[in-house]
């Protein structure tokens, strides 16, 4: 039986905020993969990208996912690029249900601008066209990885959590 809930999706789709609500409502621990990575490296994510580069970040990400997926009954909020390495998804799917959160480009842009400098892969100065390209490139990775999708563009966090919980209740492979 699977007992973890893994949230994947592009930056700004609400993985962490939805993860927090799910964890509270289901009395589970929230694991933020980016936080594990920052702890492993001893520095914040933007500093890892700046000092060590993306490849090193991805290596730490794979180690962090291995660690997170080995535990039970947690909500795992992944970083947006987790889908780029299939081993991450294989591991998440072994012990959990994988949910892809999506949002429109407009909503993602708004949320990213609000978060400012925390996203080394896309600066606030990036033109929307470039973010759109990255979303387009990644879309098949998210689609392939997910058990199901929730579009968070027009929903508040509680409603997104309701939808996820409803789906999980009807999933016989999931252990509440």
What does the binding site for ligand S3P look like in residue numbers (CB under 6 A)?
A: 11, 15, 34, 45, 79-81, 119-121
Q: Between residues 34 and 145, which has the closer beta carbon with respect to ligand S3P? A: 34
Q: Between residues 153 and 171, which has the closer beta carbon with respect to ligand S3P? A: 153
Dihedral sign from CA coordinates of 138, 143, 149, 153: positive
Q: Between residues 15 and 91, which has the closer beta carbon with respect to ligand S3P? A: 15
Cα distances (Å, whole numbers) of residue 21 to 15, 27, 34, 50, 168: 10, 10, 18, 32, 15
- The three-state secondary structure class of 18 is helix
CA distance 72 to 75: 9
Show the DSSP H helices in 2-124 as ranges: 15-26, 33-41, 45-52, 54-69, 86-95, 105-115
Q: Between residues 34 and 168, which has the closer beta carbon with respect to ligand S3P? A: 34
Q: Between residues 45 and 173, which has the closer beta carbon with respect to ligand S3P? A: 45
* In the complex, least distance from residue 172 CB atom to ligand S3P, rounded to whole angstroms: 30
CA distance 12 to 25: 22
Q: What does residue 20 show for φ and ψ, rounded to 5 degrees?
A: -65, -45
Contact indicator for 22, 165 with CB cutoff of 8 Å: yes
* In the complex, least distance from residue 160 CB atom to ligand S3P, rounded to whole angstroms: 15
CA distance 136 to 26: 33
* In the complex, least distance from residue 11 CB atom to ligand S3P, rounded to whole angstroms: 4
Residue number closest to ligand S3P, CB atom: 79
* In the complex, least distance from residue 70 CB atom to ligand S3P, rounded to whole angstroms: 20
* In the complex, least distance from residue 44 CB atom to ligand S3P, rounded to whole angstroms: 10
């Amino acid at each position: 039986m699977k007992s973890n809930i893994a949230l994947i999706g592009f930056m700004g789709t609400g993985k962490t905020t939805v993860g927090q609500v799910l964890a509270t409502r289901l009395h589970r621990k929230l694991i933020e993969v980016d936080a594990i990575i920052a702890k492993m490296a001893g520095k914040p994510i933007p500093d890892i990208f700046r000092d060590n580069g993306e490849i090193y970040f991805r290596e730490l990400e794979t180690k962090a996912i291995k660690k997170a997926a080995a535990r039970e009954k947690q909500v795992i909020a992944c970083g947006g690029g987790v889908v780029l390495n299939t081993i991450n998804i294989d591991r998440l799917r072994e012990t959990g249900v994988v949910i892809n959160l999506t949002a429109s480009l407009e909503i993602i842009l708004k949320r990213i601008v609000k978060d400012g400098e925390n996203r080394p892969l896309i600066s606030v100065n990036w033109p929307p066209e470039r973010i759109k390209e990255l979303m387009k490139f990644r879309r098949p990775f998210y689609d392939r990885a997910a058990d199901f999708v929730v579009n968070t563009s027009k929903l508040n966090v509680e409603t997104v959590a309701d939808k996820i919980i409803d789906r999980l209740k009807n999933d016989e492979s999931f252990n509440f």
